[in-house]
Every structure is written in C-alpha cells, then in structure tokens.
Amino acid sequence: MAITGVLRPGHTQLRVLDLEASVKFYTDIMGLEETGRDSSGRVYFKCLDEVDHHSLIIRQSEKTGMDFYGFRVLDRQTLEKLDSDLRAFGIPTTHIPAGDLLETGERIRFTVPSGHVIELYAEKTNIGNSRGYLNPEVVIEGRRGISPVRLDHWQVHGGDIDGSVKVFTKILGFSVTEQILLGDGTAAAVWLSCSNKAHDIAFVRDERDNTLHHTAFYLDSWHDVLNAADIMGKYRVKVDIGPTRHGITRGATIYAFDPSGNRFETFAGGYTFYPDIPPITWTEDEMGAAIFYHDRKLNEAFLTVVT
C-alpha cells in the first residue's frame, strides 16, 4: 500500500495539572525522552524509536484533556492540497506558522464536527534515534520504564461522529476498519486507518464534544504489555483495565491514567489492514466482546471517564 497523503499520527498536546510531576511520569515511568521546552513552558517528548523531534507535548493547565491531534502528511504539496480540499468541503482552516511548535513547520488546523481540533503538517526536524540509519543494531539504547515504540492512535468522543468520519474518509483519505452498530443501525463507534494499521483514530458517540478517551502508545509484543503491567504495579499507576485483549483490532492492551487523570493505553498487536477489506461490524449485543474479548464485558470507568 502506497501511503501518499496522511502518513500517521504525528503529535498531540496534552493538558496536565502538575507539569513537573507529569514530566517525571512520562520520562521515568513511561520511558519517553524529553526533547525540549519552549518559552511558553511546554515540554516535548518522543518515544525512543521515533526519529521526529517530538510526538507528545504537555502543558500546565487547570483542566485536563487534549488541545489538538496532529497528523503528518507526505509533503508540502500534499499539505496545500488537503488545505484546499478541506475549505472546499466547508471546513475552515487556520495556518499556524512554522516555529510555533519546536522544530515543526507550518501546520493547518481545523475543527471536525465532533469538536476535536485536528492539525496537519509536513515538516518536523528528524533528530534520529540511538540506532541510526547505517548498519543499525536492533537494540534501542537508553530504555527505561514502559518504553513504547511510538505514539500509535487516539480514541476521541463527541456528538457528531458521523460528520467527523465523513471528513476523515472523504477528505483525508482514511478507511473505516471497524464499527459498532446499535440496533437501529446508528454507529456507536468507528475505527479508521490512514495506513496498514488496524486503526489510527477512533470516534465514539458521546454527548460530550471534544473529549479524549485515551492516547495510545505502541509496544512490540504481548510480553511488553505484561512488562508494562509490572511497571504500573511497581509505581502504583492507576490502572483502568488490563492486561487483556480487544476483539476490535485484536490488540493486547492495558488502560491506565497519568497523574492528572488523562487515560493512556499501552497497545500491542493488531492486524494488517488494506483498503479493499470491508469494514468489520460488531453488533450492540456483542459490544462487550468487541472491546474486551476475554471477559466480554465493559467496566463503568471505561464507559464514562473522558478528559
């Protein structure tokens, strides 16, 4: 599959209640690398296997949640075309100048019908990783804590997910990989991919617009998910559910909360997706198995807690 438009989730900006406590959590427990701080007080991180300058940004706030969700596109020409296509579709866009985020080029920002602020960008400084590009070793140096491989996906909640899915499929080129349909045929949730992954973003129907359910970080294997569980236990991280497996995406998972109460996921596995594969549909009566395949039931916190 040639990826020629939107490439992948690239970065996200998270609001935290205690900046330095959050820095300690994301470096010592999550095992991310701090890559910079800017004049507004924001702190930047990347996973150790990522090569771009950052994938997670945190800022001090009195309210938790996510400010925006950034996707990297192929090149400047692609960015300009998607900007034009969005405006032609009736979605206003704002141009954020290069340098507003550290080591990041111009961003195109817009709001989808579910209230979420989405960004597209084509340029970010490649600072590399410990393995390099010439005859690299397989070992990632400097690992500590959970040490995920990459920022993987988001699950977000809002009212008009049908409108948001339309923007992502009709304009941004995403494919629907899976969905949960209620008895009347209404989509309760939709999973979408811009790549060969089982999903890059998921939208869940919820009266609370512009809310975040979780940010997901990818691990290499089920063994790494179990190791993450051990680390969470050692450091008394508040766990929502897991380790377990999803029916949707077939991924292995743990859901937990950072010190501010923002939910994150450590995720491994999932299948390879191609655009000619029809969407997988789950019915309302099998929603428990769709989300948590082993015990086939949902918990209250998972259904109700968003930031």
pLDDT digits 0-9 by tens, 10-62: 999 999 999 999 999 999 999 999 999 999 999 999 999 999 999 999 999 99
Q: Are residues 154 and 259 in the same domain?
A: yes
* Percent of the chain scoring above 90 in pLDDT: 89
The per-residue pLDDT for 288 is 84
Q: Same domain, yes or no, for 285 and 167? A: yes
Among 105, 121, 137, which residue terminates a domain? 121
265 lies in some domain: yes
Work out the average pLDDT over 296-305.
84
**Amino acid code (one letter) for 47:** C
pLDDT at 85 over 70: yes
Query: Are both 79 and 220 inside the same structural domain?
Result: no
Predicted structure pTM score: 0.96
Say if residues 248 and 275 touch (Cβ distance below 8 Å).
no
pLDDT, averaged across the chain: 95
Domain assignment present for 140: no
Shared domain for 155 and 276, answered yes or no, is: yes
Q: Is residue 271 domain-resident?
A: yes
Token pair, residue 208, equals 């609370």
Q: What is the CATH number of the domain that holds 101?
A: 3.10.180.10
111 — pLDDT class (breaks 50, 70, 90): very high
Q: Are residues 162 and 294 in the same domain?
A: yes
CA nearest 263: which of 298, 306, 303?
A: 306
In a domain, 131, yes or no: no
How far is C-alpha 280 from the geometric centre of its chain's CA atoms? 21
Residue-wise pLDDT for 191-218, tens only, equals 999 999 999 999 999 999 999 999 999 9
User: For the chain, what is the domain count?
Assistant: 2
Residue type, 4: T
- Enumerate the active-site residues: 153, 199, 214, 246, 255, 265
Report yes or no on 203 lying in a domain: yes
| Residues 103, 159 share a domain | no
Res. 4: pLDDT tops 80: no
The answer to whether residue 145 sits within a structural domain is no
Question: Same domain for 77 and 160?
Answer: no
Same domain, 117 and 19: yes
Asked if residue 15 is part of any domain, the answer here is: yes
In a domain, 137, yes or no: no
Q: What is the pLDDT of residue 137?
A: 92
Do residues 117 and 155 both lie within one domain? no
Neighbouring C-alpha atoms within 13 Å toward the C-beta of 14: 32
Query: What's the pLDDT score for residue 2?
Result: 62
166 plus 260 within the same structural domain? yes
Domain boundary (83, 101, 121) is at: 121
Q: Look at residue 80 and give its three-state secondary structure.
A: helix
pLDDT(113) > 70: yes
What CA–CA distance (Å, rounded) separates 102 from 44? Answer: 8
Is the same domain home to 99 and 163?
Answer: no
Reported as half-sphere exposure (CB side, CA atoms, 13 A), residue 136 has a value of: 11
Verify that 181 and 300 share a domain, yes or no.
yes
pLDDT given at position 246: 92
Domain that holds residue 112: 6-121
